[in-house]
């Protein structure tokens, strides 16, 4: 089955639904755990699979995406898989060229410089035509998972995508993108609205293809202050949750849990908890008790061990996990890192993290 792309029907029955139950606020025997960037360069088999391939060519191969998504699950008893892809496939769907430059990262050959450049973007995007390869990867992976764990689909959020499209790549200040917010507020909103519409269709398409949960990455939230976040990020984050849910209903597709991860946006936790998402993801700079107080009892929290904690000896990782679980409690909680895994991490330490979450949460639940 894993050599041809099957149809998004007749998926194998799900055997481990702990992640979905926790997302919905139901009880679980153990705290579910997965890691952002769990399919990544820290795995030797990942480096081997990717060795000869251009990064975005890999993203466009359903077979390779499926293989990379499954790799961490062969090693660790994770409770969810996340499709291997990249947030920058959305700007590509809008007609922008993005290449992966070794040692530098993703680079836009022609970033947006002037307001007039918005006219170069596709104003109507057929997501199946432009991003169908992601849908195929999801369908294939969902079949090849054989019901072991749920599959998460994802997208970048509008502000994060906009910031890349203007900066032309990574940036420590996001000054070019932020200057648009101050100098060209109307054009900024136009671009953010266009991105919101594409992201909405893209996420709905992922569910139609077989994704069982969705995560929205507002990775550059920390570059905005509270006021800019209120104006240029939060409204679109809210709109996406609302529009995705109503389209899923219209198309008689399953209403899957949605996760919002806005990195470094502590000032917005209260608003994010009311933005229409079942789960709020946290970075490592927030205390569990504080996050719980800000977000209330009606959302599930996800996070938030400092990824660098995985450089610690294994016993220490166990202690840190125990402390994290005691801080969050085991109800309405999904364990994760506060950001993605780094390329030089030891896979055995990732395994120690996953096992510690399962062992300590089972112990806490028994008490």
Across the chain, mean pLDDT equals 97
Q: Would you kindly state where each structural domain of the chain is located, as residue ranges?
A: 17-366
What is the tens place of the pLDDT at every residue in 122-171?
A: 999 999 999 999 999 999 999 999 999 999 999 999 999 999 999 999 99
DSSP line for 281-337? E--TTS-HHHHHHHH-SSSEEEEEE-GGGGGS-HHHHHHHHHHHHHHH-SSSEEEEE
Active site residue 133: no
- Quick check: is 86 catalytic? yes
Averaged over 67-96, what is the pLDDT?
Answer: 98
Task: Let me know: does 207 contact 248? Beta carbons within 8 Å.
Answer: yes
pLDDT at 285: 97
State residue 102's pLDDT score.
87
Instruction: Write down the catalytic residue from 41, 75, 190, 331.
Output: 41
Catalytic annotation, pick one of 86, 117, 231, 306 = 86
- Lowest average pLDDT, out of 51-55, 85-89, 334-338, goes to 51-55
Give the active site residue among 17, 142, 148, 164.
164
List strand residue ranges (DSSP E) for 188-331, in order: 213-218, 258-262, 279-281, 300-305
List, in sequence order, every beta strand (DSSP E) within the chain. 81-82, 98-101, 105-108, 151-156, 213-218, 258-262, 279-281, 300-305, 333-337
Give the pLDDT score at 300.
98
CA atoms within 13 A on the CB side of 173: 3
Classify residue 38 as exposed, middle or buried by CB count within 10 Å of its CB (0-12, 13-18, 19+). buried
**pLDDT confidence of 52, banded at 50, 70, 90?**
confident
Percent of the chain with pLDDT over 90: 96
Per-residue pLDDT tens digits for 92-115: 999 999 999 988 999 999 999 999
Average pLDDT for 180-194: 98
Active-site residue, from 17, 42, 50, 333: 50
Average pLDDT over residues 6-13: 91
Supply the pLDDT for residue 19.
98
- Is the pLDDT score of 2 beyond 80? no
Give the pLDDT of residue 3: 59
Whether residue 192 is predicted with pLDDT greater than 70 in this model: the reply is yes
Q: Exactly one of 37, 60, 148, 238 is catalytic; which is it?
A: 37
For 312-345, what is each residue's pLDDT tens digit? Answer: 999 999 999 999 999 999 999 999 999 999 999 9
For residue 50, indicate whether it is catalytic: yes
Position 4 pLDDT exceeds 70: no
Angle ∠(282,111,117) on CA atoms, nearest 5? 115
Q: What are phi and psi of 303, to 5 degrees?
A: 150, -155
Domain 17-366, CATH number (from 3.30.460.80, 1.10.357.10, 3.90.1150.10, 3.20.20.210): 3.20.20.210
d(CA 324, CA 335): 9
Residue 218 has pLDDT above 80, yes or no: yes
pLDDT at 5: 67
pTM of the entire predicted model: 0.98
The residue among 183 and 6 whose pLDDT is bigger is 183
Q: Residue 216's pLDDT is what? A: 99
């Amino acid at each position: 089955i894993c050599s041809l792309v099957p149809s998004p029907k007749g998926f194998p029955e799900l055997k481990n639904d702990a992640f979905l139950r926790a997302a919905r606020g139901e009880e679980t025997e153990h705290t579910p755990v997965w890691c952002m960037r769990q399919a990544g360069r820290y795995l030797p088999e990942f480096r081997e699979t990717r060795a000869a391939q251009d990064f975005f060519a890999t993203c466009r191969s359903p077979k390779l995406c499926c293989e990379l998504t499954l790799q961490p699950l062969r090693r660790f008893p994770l409770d969810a898989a996340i499709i291997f892809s990249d947030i920058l496939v959305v700007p590509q769907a809008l007609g922008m060229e993005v290449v992966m430059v070794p040692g530098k990262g993703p680079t836009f050959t022609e970033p947006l410089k002037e307001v007039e450049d918005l006219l170069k973007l596709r104003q109507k995007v057929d997501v199946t035509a432009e991003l169908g390869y992601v849908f195929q990867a999801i369908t294939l992976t969902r079949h090849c998972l054989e019901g072991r764990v749920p599959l998460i689909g994802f997208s970048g959020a509008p502000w994060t995508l906009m910031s890349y499209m203007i900066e032309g790549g990574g940036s420590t200040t996001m000054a070019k993108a932020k200057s648009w917010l101050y100098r060209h507020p109307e054009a900024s909103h136009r671009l953010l609205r266009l991105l919101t519409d594409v992201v909405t269709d893209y996420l709905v398409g992922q569910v139609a293809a077989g994704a069982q949960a969705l995560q929205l990455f507002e990775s550059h939230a920390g570059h905005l202050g509270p006021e800019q976040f209120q104006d240029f990020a939060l409204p679109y984050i809210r709109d996406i949750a609302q529009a995705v849910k109503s389209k899923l209903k219209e198309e008689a597709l399953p209403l899957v849990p949605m996760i919002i991860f806005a990195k470094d946006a502590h000032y917005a936790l209260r608003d994010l908890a009311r933005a229409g998402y079942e789960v709020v993801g946290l970075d490592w700079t927030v205390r569990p008790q504080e996050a719980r107080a800000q977000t209330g009892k009606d959302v599930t929290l996800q996070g938030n061990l400092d990824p660098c904690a995985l450089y610690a000896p294994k016993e220490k990782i166990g202690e840190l996990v125990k402390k994290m679980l005691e801080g969050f409690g085991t109800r309405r909680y999904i364990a994760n890192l506060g950001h993605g895994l780094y390329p030089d991490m030891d896979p055995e330490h990732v395994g120690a993290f996953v096992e510690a979450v399962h062992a300590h949460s089972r112990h806490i639940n028994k008490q």
